[in-house]
């Protein structure tokens, strides 16, 4: 009864669509215009992706740090590694470059050779004063040599901050206004003003300026994401349209399909704007995904139409059957695909949740578009010509199907042996998978800003901030000699770790104050004794000038201090070792009962976020499997059929995970998506095969073997066609500059190909081998929904 009602529903739907085709087209155009109007609300992400939920303890600590000390990553650094810099003309031009940077309203302050201040003791007034290192334009090489010698040998405070003494690299540090760091102002300033200034400097001097720092990296990375959206959309349209035309040899059918997916892309951007979600490295993938997933819908519907036309030549009847016979099957497969994406909604990660919401909504949207537009447009056109129907009989496709049938008939034992070998090998590979918590690993390796990251890692030991926050639990407790000594001991541990840069804290300023007290003699760059402490502390707190740089390292009450270091891009296990070593020494120097000390910073935040996502991966994938199992139970009402249907869809996921382990592709935010996406798409083939198999069972009076072979022949071609489209469609992501996007495209493509073979070879083999266990009408009850109508050839390819 339910199945008849369902079939009646689709026949009524077909009648409504075809009778109101003008009205529906007008509504689609109106809604598309409305979605286009939402584009103005689209925002590209200006903040670093936060993979942790808002209530996570690590996030709470990070926000507490930002509230107390402000944005951590607000410095843009410029460096020159060229001995020819140390000539009067070029050094003066470099100093002018620093003045130009300081003149921008977006810049808070600049620390450079041009405005570098030395802390000196005023013997007459018994106080410290700040004097500029360079007082006027440099006129001679001797003057430069004197300044360079003094800077490199007598000012350890600035070592690794403004220069690398060993290589001679000099840099300028520009701290941006903290209020613009996470706004579009930062993007405009960096892409236009800073870029223009650097280009002009390089043109005038012939020097190569290296630029880095988290604001700069984030801006350039976001710009790469923006640039790739258009590239992906064009590539996806190009690849899928070529494949589509190769299958159909019809410009008309290809143009109609392109029309459907282009409107789907417009809706995708519109939904992003309507929901006011930021465009991130994940949501940027949705428009091309919609193209890749939408084309198989068009293949099924157009093939069904052409098949009906070839059968009886009645256009009205053909269009009515396209909707009533294929509508339910296409809805079911789109629902399972959307379910794979929707599982990300249950995660606590805002990044994944937004991706899951937008992707699943748009998959249903592209289904509605294809179901409405294709029959309506064809209703206004003449019947397809004979040459357009030739693709329905291709000998090479028949050869492929015959090959699969021979394997299933004669080599089932070999199929199981190969499957078991692949399973065992994949499990071994899974144990070799690593987790990557690096925020820069996926960035485009050939981009200049990435090369500059490596340059600064080599010259200054890293660019990713790591912060250690020390709460002494007493006002003005930071400047007590005992606490300064503890901070100094922890700083020594940091300096012993090669992947971390020289730390910066109030300790550096106090040491510099003592050096100045002893007339700038470098050996006195150390913490003052208790006798020296009182006088030097007053100077340290009221030094002004460069004191502004380190004033940010103690809060207004003097109770809490920060130690800032920078980390190189290291493997996750090494990052965890560093974190463990630092925590051990933190607990050693700062007993938890007397101090509240924690580590934070964007580098650690990303590591914790990645590990959190791995846990969510298991949850979302398990939820996807559970949803699909429920769906299968609703369709087929048989527990054994659920198990049989899941095996050929889980095996490809295991194989892909094993390949990741052997090839060395780590688990990271981008590759985490592979499994739920691939599972949601690949199960479509299973539904088509089992639906056709059930129909054949009824037609062949429960004869298992005959039904399996008939289902294989009927659905094999359609599964092959759609798998080819999906394979090449997802392969367009390989052209990305982002390593994670490349891995996502390659892994999903490979998984879908494995899934196609599993559904066409392993699934029918299992049905044949277990025929005695599933051959009863009691187990194979009539399905709740007739996916494939009785008496109709569902397969649109034959």
pLDDT of residue 795: 41
pLDDT of residue 490: 92
Higher pLDDT among residues 440 and 486, named by residue = 486
pLDDT of residue 550: 53
Please report, to the nearest 10 degrees, the dihedral formed by the alpha carbons of residues 720, 723, 727, 728 taken in order.
70
Q: What is the mean pLDDT of residues 405-431?
A: 89
pLDDT in tens, 552-606: 788 878 888 889 888 888 877 888 888 899 999 999 999 988 889 999 887 788 7
Per-position DSSP letters for 326-365, written without gaps between them: HHHHHHHHHHHHHHHHHGGGGSS-HHHHHHHHHHHHHHHH
Residue 339 has pLDDT above 50, yes or no: yes
pLDDT of residue 388: 57
pLDDT of residue 345: 82
Reading the block at residue 97, the tokens are 């470059």
pLDDT of residue 549: 47
Q: What is the mean pLDDT of residues 724-736?
A: 84
pLDDT of residue 27: 93
pLDDT of residue 635: 67
pLDDT of residue 793: 42
Q: Contact at 8 Å (CB) between 792 and 695?
A: no
117: β partners? 132
Higher pLDDT among residues 533 and 525, named by residue = 525
Q: Contact at 8 Å (CB) between 714 and 276?
A: no
Neighbouring C-beta atoms of residue 104, cutoff 10 Å: 16
Closest CA to 565 of 462, 459, 437: 462
Neighbouring C-beta atoms of residue 82, cutoff 10 Å: 16
Neighbouring C-beta atoms of residue 789, cutoff 10 Å: 20
pLDDT of residue 427: 92
Lowest average pLDDT, out of 94-108, 179-193, 197-211, 363-377, goes to 179-193
Lowest average pLDDT, out of 263-277, 454-468, 536-550, goes to 536-550
pLDDT of residue 404: 81
Give pTM, 2 decimals: 0.76
Full set of structural domains in the chain with CATH: 2-40+220-431+606-774 (1.20.1640.10)
Per cent of the chain over pLDDT 90 is: 9
Higher pLDDT among residues 662 and 464, named by residue = 662
Q: How confident is the model at residue 66 (pLDDT cuts 50, 70, 90)?
A: confident
pLDDT in tens, 5-52: 555 777 888 888 888 889 999 999 999 999 989 888 877 765 666 677
Closest CA to 392 of 311, 512, 274, 474: 311
Task: Name, in order, each residue with C-beta under 8 angstroms of 784's C-beta and a sequence gap of 6 or more.
Answer: 2, 3, 634, 635, 637
Residue 318 has pLDDT above 70, yes or no: yes
How far apart are alpha carbons 499 and 574 in whole angstroms? Answer: 9
Per cent of the chain over pLDDT 70 is: 89
pLDDT of residue 124: 66
Neighbouring C-beta atoms of residue 108, cutoff 10 Å: 18
pLDDT in tens, 660-670: 888 888 887 77
Q: What is the mean pLDDT of residues 229-256?
A: 83
DSSP helix, strand, coil percent of the chain (3-state; round to 5)? 70, 10, 25
Residue 61 has pLDDT above 80, yes or no: yes
pLDDT of residue 708: 80
Q: What is the mean pLDDT of residues 745-769?
A: 86
- Taking phi over 0 as left and psi of -120 to 50 as alpha, with beta for the rest, 160 belongs to left
How far apart are alpha carbons 225 and 279 in whole angstroms? Answer: 9
How far apart are alpha carbons 675 and 672 in whole angstroms? Answer: 7
Residue 779 has pLDDT above 70, yes or no: no
Task: Identify the residue whose tokens are 């690949």.
Answer: 682
pLDDT of residue 792: 44
pLDDT of residue 242: 86
Higher pLDDT among residues 497 and 644, named by residue = 497
pLDDT in tens, 546-567: 444 456 788 878 888 889 888 8
Closest CA to 589 of 461, 465, 468, 506: 468
pLDDT of residue 139: 83
pLDDT of residue 30: 94
Q: How confident is the model at residue 280 (pLDDT cuts 50, 70, 90)?
A: confident
Task: Name, in order, each residue with C-beta under 8 angstroms of 21's C-beta and a sequence gap of 6 or more.
Answer: 376, 379, 380
Closest CA to 338 of 615, 759, 676, 719: 676
Closest CA to 214 of 101, 74, 110, 49: 74
Q: What is the mean pLDDT of residues 538-552?
A: 52
pLDDT in tens, 387-402: 656 655 566 667 777 8
Closest CA to 377 of 245, 250, 240, 234: 250
pLDDT of residue 123: 66
Mean pLDDT, rounded, of the chain: 80
Q: What is the mean pLDDT of residues 210-237?
A: 83
Lowest average pLDDT, out of 99-108, 173-182, 534-543, 779-788, goes to 779-788
pLDDT of residue 34: 93
Q: How confident is the model at residue 787 (pLDDT cuts 50, 70, 90)?
A: very low
| Inter-residue long-range contacts of 247-253, CB under 8 Å, 24+ positions, other chains counted | 247/299, 247/391, 247/721, 248/302, 248/388, 248/391, 249/387, 249/388, 249/390, 249/391, 250/384, 250/388, 252/381, 252/384, 252/388, 253/302, 253/384, 253/388
**Largest separation between any pair of C-alpha atoms in the chain:** 111
Q: Give the number of C-alpha atoms closer than 13 A to the C-alpha of residue 778, restricted to the C-beta side.
A: 2
How far apart are alpha carbons 515 and 310 in whole angstroms? Answer: 93
């Amino acid at each position: 009864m339910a199945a008849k009602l369902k079939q009646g529903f689709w026949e009524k739907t077909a009648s409504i669509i075809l009778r109101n085709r003008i009205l529906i087209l007008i509504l689609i155009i109106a809604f598309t215009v409305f979605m286009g109007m939402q584009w103005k609300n689209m925002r590209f992400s200006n903040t670093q992706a936060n993979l942790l939920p808002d209530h996570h303890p690590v996030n709470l600590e990070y926000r507490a740090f930002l509230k107390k000390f402000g944005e951590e990553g607000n410095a843009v650094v410029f460096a020159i590694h060229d001995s020819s810099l140390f000539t009067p003309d070029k050094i003066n031009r470099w100093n002018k470059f620093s003045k130009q940077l300081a003149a921008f309203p977006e810049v808070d302050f600049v620390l450079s050779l041009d405005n570098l201040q030395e802390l000196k003791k005023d013997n007459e007034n018994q106080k410290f004063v700040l004097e500029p290192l360079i007082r006027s334009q440099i006129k001679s090489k001797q003057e430069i040599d004197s300044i360079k010698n003094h800077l490199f040998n007598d000012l350890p405070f600035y070592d690794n901050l403004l220069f690398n003494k060993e290589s001679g690299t000099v840099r300028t540090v520009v701290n941006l206004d903290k209020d613009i760091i996470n706004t579009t102002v930062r993007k405009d300033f960096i892409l236009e003003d800073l870029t223009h200034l650097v280009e002009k400097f390089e043109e005038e001097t012939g020097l190569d300026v290296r630029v880095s720092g988290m604001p700069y990296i984030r801006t350039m990375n976001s710009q790469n994401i923006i640039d790739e959206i258009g590239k992906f959309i064009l590539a996806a349209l190009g690849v899928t349209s070529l494949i589509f035309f190769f299958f159909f040899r019809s410009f008309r059918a290809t143009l109609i399909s392109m029309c459907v997916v282009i409107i789907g892309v417009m809706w995708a951007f519109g939904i992003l704007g309507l929901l006011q979600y930021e465009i991130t490295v994940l949501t940027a993938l949705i428009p091309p995904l919609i193209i890749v997933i939408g084309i198989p819908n068009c293949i099924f519907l157009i093939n069904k139409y052409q098949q009906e036309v070839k059968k009886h030549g009645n256009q009205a009847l053909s269009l009515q059957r396209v909707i009533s016979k294929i509508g339910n099957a296409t809805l079911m497969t789109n629902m399972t695909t959307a379910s794979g994406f929707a599982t990300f909604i249950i995660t606590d990660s805002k990044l994944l949740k937004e991706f899951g919401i937008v992707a699943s909504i748009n998959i249903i949207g592209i289904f509605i578009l294809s179901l409405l537009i294709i029959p309506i447009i064809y209703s206004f056109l003449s019947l397809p010509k004979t040459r357009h129907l030739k693709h329905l009989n291709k000998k090479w496709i028949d050869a492929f199907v015959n090959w699969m049938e021979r394997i299933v008939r004669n080599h089932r034992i070999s199929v199981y042996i190969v499957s078991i070998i692949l399973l065992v090998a994949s499990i071994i590979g899974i144990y070799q998978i690593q987790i990557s918590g690096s925020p820069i690993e996926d960035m485009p390796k050939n981009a200049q800003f990435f090369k500059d990251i490596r340059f600064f890692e080599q010259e200054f030991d890293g660019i990713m901030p790591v912060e250690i926050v020390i709460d002494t639990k007493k006002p003005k407790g930071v400047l007590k000699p005992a606490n300064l000594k503890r901070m100094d001991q922890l700083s020594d541990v940091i300096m012993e770790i090669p992947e971390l840069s020289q730390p910066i804290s109030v300790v550096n300023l106090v040491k510099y104050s003592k050096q100045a007290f002893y007339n700038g003699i470098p050996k006195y760059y150390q913490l003052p004794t208790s006798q020296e402490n009182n006088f030097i502390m007053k100077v340290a707190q009221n030094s002004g000038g460069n004191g502004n740089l380190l004033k940010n390292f103690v809060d207004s009450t003097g109770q809490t201090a920060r130690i800032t270091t920078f980390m190189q891009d290291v493997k996750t296990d090494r990052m965890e070792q560093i974190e463990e070593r630092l925590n051990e020494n933190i607990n050693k120097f700062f007993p938890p009962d007397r101090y509240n000390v924690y580590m934070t910073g964007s580098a650690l935040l990303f590591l914790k976020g990645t590990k959190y996502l791995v846990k969510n991966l298991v949850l979302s994938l398990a939820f996807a499997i559970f949803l699909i199992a429920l769906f299968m139970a609703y369709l087929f009402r048989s527990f054994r059929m659920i198990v049989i249907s899941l095996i050929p869809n889980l095996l490809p996921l295991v194989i892909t995970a094993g390949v990741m382990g052997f090839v060395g592709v780590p688990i990271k935010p981008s590759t985490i998506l592979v499994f739920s996406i691939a599972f949601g798409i690949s199960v479509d083939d299973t539904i088509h095969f089992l639906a056709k198999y059930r129909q054949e069972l009824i037609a062949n009076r429960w004869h298992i073997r005959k039904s399996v072979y008939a289902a294989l022949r009927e659905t094999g071609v359609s599964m092959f066609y759609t798998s080819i489209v999906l394979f090449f469609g997802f392969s367009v992501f390989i052209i990305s500059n982002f390593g994670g996007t490349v891995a996502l495209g390659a892994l999903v493509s490979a998984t879908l190909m494995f899934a196609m073979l599993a559904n066409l070879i392993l699934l029918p083999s299992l049905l044949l081998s277990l025929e005695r266990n599933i051959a009863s009408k009691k187990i194979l009850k009539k399905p709740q929904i007739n996916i494939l109508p009785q008496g109709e050839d569902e397969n649109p390819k034959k």
